[in-house]
């Protein structure tokens, strides 16, 4: 073993003849473009200097109003679809609203392209792995890099300014093909990820004018969307039946945080229905909640063609004009697709819509573009005007991608004496598996073209001599090379098996039906482990979790790592962890269930809470009552950390008015968390000592959970705070969590009302517990 850990990975240039870079990626690359798209270009049309909407000295509302009043009805309709048409008489060019930036600038949407000028952008780990870092500063730092690269590409005409990311849906079911895009199953982690990433994308670097946007983010897909295509049920036809309790305490919190905490510029409504209504046609959800209750400062956009979907597939309205009217009256501002462009004028003509309804929509759209500087003339004379190709794929950005992967990698199992490996002790390393030398697999979906790739094999080969075997022709592993693999492992000093799946088995429009590793992967792992000369390290590359109980309980499989889809530098990060140049600190952001879970829980059942009468065990660590393979928050380290709460109250009192009913009743088990009460700011501090008892330094994610009293079908426990810290070997630190009773300890009752339960609470940090009583 070696004693150097943390951020001391060797700066190795992986230059091998079989490296795969830009030239081998068959996605859209266009010729060189050098002109950003923007309105109010006085060099082309001097008249624009006299338009109020082009006058940057006026207030934003006045500028938008001036623009809207100048437009004809048809010109207005041009601006409620993603491919907004040009209005040449006013100096307004075409604008493509649809760009993606889930974990790096992507060319999935039509608004972004790569070219010889900018052949790629930094590709960070897929979101599920980044979330495993439990590091809000990392979430925001990635957002800042992505927005800088996006602005640089915009300045040379290769990108837009509106990016439909992040995905903050709850990873409710382990089979969901898009769980990889999300921050996981916990509402608080998803909320913190969403608001932090949004801030990184949107906030101006100089903070001079916080109302301006660097780029405009979009939190999607609102709401209760987490089924794509499972056993013949697809997202276009699915009606998610959701209780108000589950909506308010599970599905909606990440979106609320995006809007309230992150000030996101957009929210996207989803394909599915919720309780019989398409989300993009529900005035309660759009105008009522997003814009009314949460006060969205921005625009609401449909998922692509979802207005057409609720007309053609869900048959929600009898005519397309009714569908157009329903969407706009519900609060939709922009249609990804052409449906509103085709049918809105007829809806107005038939009296289903007023022109003022369309004015409301385009006002929100134009206000967003105003905040982005789109109507301020030449972007070269604005903030970010000096950004260009030199600012994309910088060494610093690529190193952040590597560090993000390292921070997220989760050590699930580690037998003493297995990891970390010593480069000096390993003369030959067997590297086996269908994901051992992959490139595109590492960047997941909604990807762009990366700056470069470092595969697991390349990362490991840069440190020690390796012998490589594919093991299976692909991840489905119909016919494993068992004999060859055993021969290789029997003579190597250690064996790394890089298994898992890829987008062929989990993706958008494709949900899983099995939680086991596919095909003969388990056979290959077990047979190799039987004969291996040295430690056997199983590396799982995937978005979702697996039932790998066979490996968990096999003493010959000495270590298990989950690496998500680790991004362009994933192979280097994996090698850093395996050889101890980085001490693993990731924690699972989702529960890993046994295969038997599938027999009890259909994907179509949206209920979070268990129902013992029907044998239904519930969902996610907050409610699930069954056995797990690995629990939410599980993650090991090469260090040994201990936790102790050194100061916390035993009792906390809720200040109620003298005439409150609960002061005169013995039956009160909760009080309503109304604004009047919560304004009194009932808070307390938890002081915690964290000790690193090992000689190895490392990072550590401290997770604070609470178990509330058993009222209102409250969660078994839920996360109320987390923080990533770094400790040297044999050192400790004091840290503090501030707990807000209304925000952190409240639960949602059966009618969707926030309540503060009275009684005994248990705080959990690691294996340490502290009990406190909440009373009147």
Catalytic residue numbers read 303
Other Cβ atoms closer than 10 A to 272: 27
Residue 111 and residue 283: Cα distance in Å, rounded? Answer: 29
Sign of CA dihedral 142, 144, 145, 151: positive
The DSSP letter of residue 581 is S
Half-sphere exposure of 231 (CA within 13 A, CB side): 7
The burial of 572, by beta-carbon neighbours within 10 Å (0-12 exposed, 13-18 middle, 19 or more buried), is given as: buried
Per DSSP, the three-state class of 335 is strand
The DSSP letter of residue 280 is G
Other Cβ atoms closer than 10 A to 675: 7
Half-sphere exposure of 235 (CA within 13 A, CB side): 24
User: Which structure tokens are listed for 170?
Assistant: 């709850």
Closest CA to 233 of 271, 268, 189, 198: 271
In degrees to the nearest 10, what's the CA dihedral of 708, 713, 718, 720? -60
Q: What are phi and psi of 770, to 5 degrees?
A: -140, 130
User: Which structure tokens are listed for 204?
Assistant: 């101006």
Distant-in-sequence, close-in-space partners of 593: CB < 8 Å, separation ≥ 6: 174, 515, 545, 547, 624, 626, 628, 629
Task: Pinpoint the alpha helices (H) of 464-608.
Answer: 482-491, 521-531, 549-552, 570-578, 597-600
Per DSSP, the three-state class of 410 is strand
SS3 letters across 665-727: CCCCCEEECCHHHHCCCCEEEEEEEEEECCCCCEEEEEEEEEECCCCCCCCCCEEEEEEEEEE
């Amino acid at each position: 073993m070696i004693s150097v850990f943390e951020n001391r990975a060797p700066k190795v240039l992986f230059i091998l003849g079989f490296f795969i870079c830009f030239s081998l990626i068959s996605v859209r690359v266009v010729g060189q473009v050098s002109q950003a798209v923007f309105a109010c270009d006085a060099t082309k049309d001097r008249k624009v200097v006299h338009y109020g909407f082009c006058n940057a000295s006026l207030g934003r509302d006045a500028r938008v109003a001036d623009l809207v009043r100048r437009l004809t009805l048809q010109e207005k309709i041009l601006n409620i679809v993603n491919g907004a048409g040009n209005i040449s008489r006013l100096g307004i060019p075409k604008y493509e609203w649809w760009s993606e930036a889930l974990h790096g600038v992507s060319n999935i949407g039509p608004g972004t392209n790569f070219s010889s000028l900018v052949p790629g952008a930094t590709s960070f780990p897929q979101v599920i792995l980044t979330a495993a870092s439990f590091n809000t500063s990392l979430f925001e730092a990635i957002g800042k890099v992505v927005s800088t690269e996006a602005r640089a590409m915009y300045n040379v005409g290769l990108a837009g300014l509106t990016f439909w990311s992040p995905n903050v849906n709850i990873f409710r079911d382990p089979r969901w093909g898009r769980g990889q895009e999300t921050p996981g199953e916990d509402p608080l982690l998803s909320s913190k990820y969403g608001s932090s990433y949004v801030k990184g994308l949107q906030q101006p670097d100089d903070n001079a004018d916080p109302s301006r946007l660097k780029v405009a983010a979009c939190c999607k897909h609102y709401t209760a969307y987490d089924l794509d295509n499972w056993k013949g049920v697809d997202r276009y036809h699915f009606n998610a039946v959701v209780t108000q309790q589950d909506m308010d305490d599970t599905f909606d919190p990440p979106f609320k945080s995006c809007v309230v905490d992150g000030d996101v510029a957009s929210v996207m409504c989803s394909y599915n229905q919720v309780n019989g209504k398409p989300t993009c046609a529900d005035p309660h959800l759009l105008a009522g909640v997003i814009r009314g209750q949460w006060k969205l400062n921005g625009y609401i956009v449909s998922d692509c063609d979802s207005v057409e979907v609720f007309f053609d597939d869900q048959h929600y309205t009898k005519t397309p004009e009714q569908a157009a009217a329903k969407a706009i009256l519900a609060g939709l501002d922009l249609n990804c697709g052409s449906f509103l462009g085709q049918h809105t004028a007829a809806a107005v003509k038939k009296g289903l819509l007023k022109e003022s309804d369309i004015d409301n929509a385009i006002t929100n759209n134009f206000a967003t573009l105003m905040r982005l500087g789109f109507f301020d003339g030449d972007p070269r004379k604005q903030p970010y005007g000096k950004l260009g190709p030199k600012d994309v794929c910088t060494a610093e950005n690529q190193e952040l991608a590597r560090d993000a992967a390292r921070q997220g990698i989760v050590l699930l199992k580690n037998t003493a004496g297995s990891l970390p490996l010593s480069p000096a002790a390993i003369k030959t390393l067997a590297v086996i598996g269908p994901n051992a030398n992959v490139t595109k697999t590492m960047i997941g979906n909604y990807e762009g073209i990366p700056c470069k790739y470092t595969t697991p094999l390349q990362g490991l080969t840069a440190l020690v001599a390796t012998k490589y075997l594919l093991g299976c022709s692909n991840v489905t592993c119909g016919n494993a090379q068992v004999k060859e693999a055993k021969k290789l492992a029997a003579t190597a000093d250690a064996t790394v098996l890089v298994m898992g799946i890829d987008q062929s088995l989990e993706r958008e429009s494709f949900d899983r039906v099995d939680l086991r590793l596919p095909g003969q992967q388990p056979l290959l792992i077990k047979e190799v482990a039987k004969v291996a000369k040295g430690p056997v390290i199983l590396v799982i590359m995937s978005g979702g979790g697996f039932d790998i109980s066979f490996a968990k309980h096999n003493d010959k499989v000495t270590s298990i790592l989950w690496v998500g889809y680790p991004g362009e530098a994933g192979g280097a990060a994996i090698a850093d962890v395996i050889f101890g140049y980085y001490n693993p600190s990731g924690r699972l952001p989702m529960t890993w269930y046994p295969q038997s879970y599938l027999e009890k829980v259909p994907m179509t059942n949206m209920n979070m809470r268990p129902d013992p009468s029907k044998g239904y065990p519930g969902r996610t660590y907050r409610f699930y009552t069954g056995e797990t393979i690995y629990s939410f928050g599980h993650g090991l380290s090469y260090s040994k950390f201990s936790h102790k709460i050194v100061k916390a109250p035993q009792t906390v009192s809720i200040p109620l008015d003298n005439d409150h009913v609960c002061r005169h009743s013995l039956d009160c088990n909760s009080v309503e968390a109304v604004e009047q009460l919560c304004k009194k700011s009932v808070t307390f501090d938890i002081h915690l000592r964290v000790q690193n008892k090992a000689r190895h330094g490392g990072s550590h994610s401290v997770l604070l959970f609470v178990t509330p009293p058993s009222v209102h079908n409250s969660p078994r426990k839920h996360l109320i705070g987390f923080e990533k810290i770094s400790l040297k070997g044999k050192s400790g630190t004091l840290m503090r969590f501030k707990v807000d009773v209304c925000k952190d300890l409240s639960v949602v009752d059966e009618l969707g009302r926030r309540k503060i339960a009275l009684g005994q609470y248990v705080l959990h940090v690691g294996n340490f517990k502290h009990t406190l009583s909440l009373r009147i």
